[in-house]
Amino acid sequence: MTQETPDKKNYKTTLNLPQTAFAMEAKLTVNEPKRLAMWREGRLYEKVLTDRATNGKGKWVLHDGPPFANGDIHIGHLINKTLKDVILRFRTMEGYETPYVPGWDCHGLPIEHKIQEEVKKAGKDFRAMGTVEVRQLCYASAEHFAKAQGEQFQRLGILGDWANPYLTMKPEYEAETLEVFARFVEAGLVYKQLKPVPWSVASQTALADAELEYKDVEDASVYVEFPVEAGTEVAKKFDRPVYLIVWTTTPWTLPANLAIAVNATMQYAFIEYTRAGEKRIGIVASELCDKVFGPGLGQGIEEVRVLGEMMTGEELSKRAEYVHPFIEYKGPILTADYVTATDGTGMVHTAPGHGEDDYDTGRKHGLAVYCPVLASGRFDDTVPEFLRGKTVKESNGLITEELKSRGRLFGVQNILHSYPHDWRTKTPIIFRATEQWFIAMDKPFQLSGDTGTPQSLRERAMTATEDGVDFIPAWGQARLQGMLQSRPDWCISRQRAWGLPIPVFYNEKDEPLLTPASVRAVAKRVREKGSDVWFTETPTELLSCDQTACPIHFGETAKLRKEKDIFDVWFESGSSWRAVLQSRSTLKFPADLYLEGSDQHRGWFQLSLLPSLGATGQAPYKQVLTHGFVVKPDGTKVSKSDKEYVKAVDEINRHGADVLRLWCCSVDYQNDIPASPKALQEFGDKYRKIRNTLRYLLSNLYDFDPKTDAREVPPNSLDGWAMYQLDLLIADVTESYDVYQLHRVFRLLHDFCSVQVSSIYGNAMKDRLYCEMPNSPLRRRCQTVMHAMVIALSKLLAPMLVFTADEVWEHIPHKPGKDAALQSIHLAWLPETSDAEVDEDQKEEWELLMRLREDALGQLDKLKKESGLNKAGEAEIVYQVDDDALRRKLQAYGTDLEDLVGCGHYAFAEKDTPGPAVTVKVVDRRNDYAACARSWKRRPDVGKDADYPDLSTRDAMAMRAIGSLP
RNA sequence: GGGCUCGUAGCUCAGUUGGUUAGAGCGCGUCCCUGAUAAGGACGAGGUCGGACGUUCGAAUCGUCUCGGGCCCA
């Protein structure tokens, strides 16, 4: 095929080619810190708040859950804080005043542990150090890490009051925590009692639920024969000894056995068997007969025969008692729901001093909370001789031996089970009854001003979460309520140094002094000097500021003794609604949103709800949003040693904050979040696509000022289509932000850049933008659209791409209206949709056009493959229509008809085939038309202008207008 | 073991009250352009919707079971 080569004149310089100072390469790691410094210098955070306070819609408060002030931030923090920041910025752009006060959880075992190790490393004796000295080291450490993490968060672009974060160890905060405690005292919910709690022998302290770590371990479990008391109805039925066969995985708790629990409705079977030469009767749940008497378990059992008779647990509990296998004790058989036939024997050894369930059952039936194990993990003197002074660990074997020698050991079995461990020392914990302070979940109380019937914390919590709180996702409600339903009383005491002391005094008779007034008296001193006063001042000094705090009859204050326990750290962070939301005039209570990982249903969400209800009767939040956890690409848990482990700080330094923020927003955070350095690396492509699209839009606006150049955009044009697409985008994105569907926001924006702008509109507009004369209506109209686009897009992206959007903002020329004066995009309001109303016919017309475009592109591809037509500009698109009305409608689109697919020319023709009302035919014109040397389009009008024989009419006119020859 | 929850192309996500050959973007492959150029465009190949069984004329969508994840608890 021969090609007519036009004069190779250099028309390039006569084109309106894109120009912009907005760099293609982001250099985020270099530029972000600069912009950050600029914002800080310009006091952006304060400015935004001031503006919204004056012109906005009111306050909207997200209350920050305090991370632990220990170590660098990790990917979980990154996700959490990014989501918070994006949501806050969206609300800001909606017009709300959105103060954000970040906080840190400062007290607690992990910090104390770390200090302990550091002290040891330095060769000093930790135990010899005074409490106050230890606390000061802990304070310094927490302060250091709060500061370090704060800087890392700021580097991520998180906007907030970083100069005034809340720290749970600050005196004012501590004082407010004590005020919350005083309210609980007032309500009568605080009590001290012996109760089994997870106890770390290694740390010699009670542990919080959150301080437990479950690990699979192999233990020897024992099946023990508990003789049925001879005088009881059940024993009398048989002429040989009867045994309850009881299974336990913790033989060391047997000395503390006070009862045996059965399930009331389950059937229990009687089995005759011979062991150690003695004929016996055993009782187990009938469902478990085969397992218990099956091969390998019972040691040396023979002649096993299941008797026909059965008895329910209920009957058994009424007709039998048992005697302890190696202690002189006669115990009851009790019924309990948690007894099942899933494992063991259906008869559960019950030691109220050593187990949560056991304790509950024991309390219900008036059993003592007997705990013969000391803090050291050794037995006291109330146990049989052979166990005294022995550790729990060594007594497992001793007890097994003892049972064996007494002929009460039915069998031994090694089992693999998951057992709680102390998360710091990694050692298995025990349950041990100790004196602890509690907050009662089920005791009804009234708050001052309450008129209704008194309600318990649990009832209040259930009511408050029923319809007063909006959960995102919705199942958060069931999860939280499930936990509230089943949680035991809240154990708020810990035996440690680094924390807020529980302000209780004891007199010489060991009676506790704990009144609202006494707590508030101490709180006053704490507010002035910090909680170290508890250790440095005498009871008299601590109470002196309030004469009513210590009643005369209680005893001389000089002789009072101070409580040694400190608060569970959850009580402190759970009081933040008071210490922060209610204490800072910039904030408000309740918060509009709490947003944390889904583990906080048990943690902060729940343990903020309870104090808030106990003290105010109100939930501290209106909405609760949770996100999932980062997992490896295969969906399993990550640990620091994994290849896929993402070091947050490293990744920020490698890719820049905007890329990571965008990534956070691209995943559905309600589920697990797969992540790896590789995945983040690849994610940079998405960022670049968006950046380039914005750059393209900017680059075509260098000579555009809407004041003088804006043109009306008719709906029946590609420009009209694009404006409508933008309107849809604005509406969708805004709605998705509002319901926190950030991944949807991301997808909408990314796809809009990629498809609507880059592939369709931007591509189609190239010819007119470059080749028309600068001031041509067609070009100006397109710029009008692109100007609106880049403003809307940058605003919609601003909450996510905080740095890039602001950079774009600087490069947008002549921003209209209020936007013009804004120092940063982060002061801007959301874009609004144009008020253009589009009727259904118009939409159908656009859809038709897009369908024709698809068709034409297909034909172009075919031509390319079959006859080497590589440039669409060398083809003509022919619209075949018979219907006059339709033809007129299409003709209104003018050049759009060819630019839609980049053809050189469009034409109309009669239809040559039956079928749809309009079809397109793409025709190769390389042999028919000359190519315009300027626009490269092959058109019939090339050469019609005598002055410019190598140009199309349009280009000739443009050249004349420009007034300069190439 | 229990509660809650998730499982759609290599990746990230759509799939409205069950209804035509399950969609998008990215990535990948092939090609084109070289006037968005360390850019841009076109086309193409990828999925038995974790699995099984059921309900139904019809199921990615409903039910039961099962497998594999996650969080929280024991």
Q: Please, what is the end-to-end C-alpha distance for chain A in angstroms?
A: 30
The whole-number pLDDT of residue A4 equals: 40
Question: Phi and psi dihedrals of A953, rounded to 5?
Answer: -55, -45
Nearest to A629 by CA among A88, A73, A78, A63: A78
CA A478 → C1' B63, Å?
22
Q: How far is CA A547 from CA A84, A442, A520, in A?
A: 46, 33, 11
The predicted structure's pLDDT at residue A804 = 98
Under 8 Å between Cβ of A247 and A345: yes
CA-to-C1' distance for A865 and B43, Å? Answer: 10
pLDDT at A80: 97
Q: Which two tokens stand for residue A516?
A: 């609202």
**Amino acid whose CA is nearest the C1' of B11:** A679
A489-CA/B9-C1' distance, Å: 50
Mean pLDDT along residues A930-949: 95
CB count within 10 Å of CB A483 equals 15
- pLDDT at position A196, please? 86
Is there a contact between A491 and A139 (Cβ–Cβ < 8 Å)? no
Q: What is the pLDDT of residue A218?
A: 80
Task: Considering only CA atoms, name the residue closest to the C1' of nucleotide B27.
Answer: A682
Burial class (CB in 10 A: 0-12, 13-18, 19+), A448: exposed
Q: What is the phi-psi region of residue A266: left when phi exceeds 0, alpha when psi lies from -120 to 50, beta otherwise?
A: beta
Q: Which amino acid is at A505?
A: F
- Token duo for residue A17: 């080619």
- Weakest-pLDDT range from A56-65, A353-362, A902-911: A353-362
What's the pTM? Answer: 0.88
Least confident of A72-86, A418-432, A847-861, A873-887: A418-432
- A97: confidence class by pLDDT, cuts 50, 70, 90: very high
Q: Residue A340 CA to B48 C1' — how many Å?
A: 41
- Which runs of consecutive H residues, i.e. helices, occur in A530-656? 533-536, 539-544, 569-573, 576, 604-616, 648-655
Torsion angle, alpha carbons of A396, A399, A405, A411, to 10: -60
pLDDT at A964: 55
Segments of A827-949 assigned E as strands = 875-881, 905-909, 918-924, 930-931, 938-939
Least confident of A100-114, A413-427, A579-593, A675-689: A413-427
Q: Which nucleotides of B are covered by protein (CB under 7 A)?
A: 1, 3-7, 11-14, 24-27, 31-43, 68-74
User: Which backbone phi and psi does A772 adopt, to 5 degrees?
Assistant: -60, 160
A760 nearest nt, CA–C1': B41
CA of A268 to C1' of B53 (A): 35
pLDDT at A496: 85
Q: How far apart are CA A316 and CA A318, in angstroms?
A: 5
d(CA A478, C1' B3) / Å: 9
A73: pLDDT strictly greater than 50: yes
Q: Which two tokens stand for residue A568?
A: 């569970």
Q: Which nucleotide is nearest to A208 (CA to C1')?
A: B73
Q: Distance (Å) from CA A915 to C1' B62?
A: 41
Q: Which residues pair with A631 in a beta bridge?
A: A637, A674
Which alpha helices (DSSP H) does A548-676 contain, by range? 569-573, 576, 604-616, 648-655, 657-666
Between the alpha carbon of residue A375 and those of residues A206, A350, A429, the distances in Å are: 9, 21, 12
**Looking at the C1' of nucleotide B39, which residue has the nearest alpha carbon?**
A692
Residues 6 or more apart from A763 whose CB is under 8 A from it? A902
Q: What are the backbone dihedrals phi and psi of residue A311, each rounded to the nearest 5 degrees, phi first?
A: -150, 140
pLDDT at A1: 36
* DSSP 8-state symbol, A128: T
pLDDT score recorded for residue A701: 98
What is the phi-psi region of residue A179: left when phi exceeds 0, alpha when psi lies from -120 to 50, beta otherwise? alpha
Kindly state the tokens that stand for A427: 């050692």
Residue range A563-592, pLDDT digits in tens: 999 999 999 999 999 999 999 999 999 999
Give pLDDT tens digits for A304-326. Answer: 888 888 888 888 888 999 999 99
Q: What is the pLDDT of residue A17?
A: 96
- Amino acid A885 CA to nucleotide B7 C1' distance, rounded Å: 53
Q: Tell whether the model's pLDDT for residue A192 goes beyond 70.
A: yes
Token readout for A690 is 């968006």
What six digits make up the tokens of A102?
């970040």
Coil vs helix vs strand at A263: coil
Residue at minimum CA to C1' distance from nucleotide B6: A671
Q: CA-CA distances (angstroms) from residue A607 to A65, A165, A195, A220, A760?
A: 12, 21, 20, 37, 53
Neighbours of A755 (CB within 10 A): 12
Grade residue A208 by pLDDT with cuts at 50, 70 and 90.
low
Q: Six-digit token pair at A866?
A: 């079959």
The token duo for A524 is 């006053």
CA distance A377 to A954: 95
State which amino acid sits at residue A40.
R
Contacts of A45 (CB under 8 A, 6+ apart): A39, A159, A160, A161
* Cα–Cα separations (whole angstroms), residue A498 to A65, A302, A435, A819, A960: 20, 59, 19, 51, 83
**Among A152-166, A365-379, A515-529, A726-740, which is the least confidently predicted range?**
A365-379
Longest CA–CA span in chain A (Å) reads: 129
Residue A17, nucleotide of least CA–C1' distance: B35
Task: Please state which of the ranges A577-581, A604-608, A898-902, A914-918 shows the lowest mean pLDDT.
Answer: A914-918
Residue A3: the pLDDT is 39
> What's the pLDDT score for residue A643?
85
Q: Which of A343, A349, A357 is nearest to A325 (CA)?
A: A349
| SS3 category, A303 | strand
Per-residue model confidence (pLDDT) at position A2? 37
Instruction: Report the candidate in A358, A307, A348 with the shortest Cα–Cα distance to residue A195.
Output: A358
A820 burial type by CB count under 10 A (0-12 exposed, 13-18 middle, 19+ buried): exposed
pLDDT band at A486 (very low <50, low <70, confident <90, very high): confident
Q: pLDDT per residue over A145-185, tens digit each? A: 999 999 999 999 999 999 999 999 999 999 999 999 999 99
For CA atoms A919, A925, A931, A936, the dihedral sign is positive
* pLDDT at residue A966, as a whole number: 44
Other CB atoms closer than 10 Å to residue A452's CB: what's the count? 6
| Most confident range, picked from A240-249, A793-802, A814-823 | A793-802
Question: With left for phi above 0 and alpha for psi between -120 and 50, is residue A74 left, alpha or beta?
Answer: beta
Q: Residue A721: what are its φ and ψ, rounded to 5°?
A: -60, -45
Q: Which nucleotide is nearest to A672 (CA to C1')?
A: B70
Helix-strand-coil percent breakdown of chain A, rounded to 5? 45, 20, 35
Gap from A904 CA to B24 C1', Å: 30
Q: What average pLDDT does this structure show over A923-933?
A: 96
Closest residue (CA to C1') to nucleotide B2 in the complex = A338
* Pairing of β A267-275 and β A103-104: unpaired
Q: What digits encode the pLDDT tens for the residues A6-27?
A: 444 589 999 999 999 999 999 9
- Amino acid A786: pLDDT: 98
CA of A857: nearest nucleotide by C1' is B42
Flag whether pLDDT at A214 surpasses 90: no
Mean pLDDT of A182-209: 86
Nearest-angstrom CA–CA distance, A784 and A822: 21
A371-416 pLDDT tens trace: 999 988 999 999 999 999 999 989 999 999 999 999 899 988 887 7
**pLDDT score at A480:** 95
Please provide the DSSP assignment of A410-477 as one string.
EEEEEEEEEEEEETTT-PBPEEEEEEEEEE-SS--B--TT--S--B-HHHHHHHHHHHSSEEESTHHH
> What is the phi/psi pair of residue A749, to 5°?
-70, -45
- pLDDT single digits (tens) A525-554: 999 999 999 999 999 889 875 666 666 556
- Predicted confidence (pLDDT) at residue A637 exceeds the cutoff of 50: yes
Name the nucleotide nearest A699; use CA and C1'.
B36
Cα radius of gyration rounded to whole Å, chain A: 38
Say how far A865 CA is from B29 C1', in Å.
Answer: 16
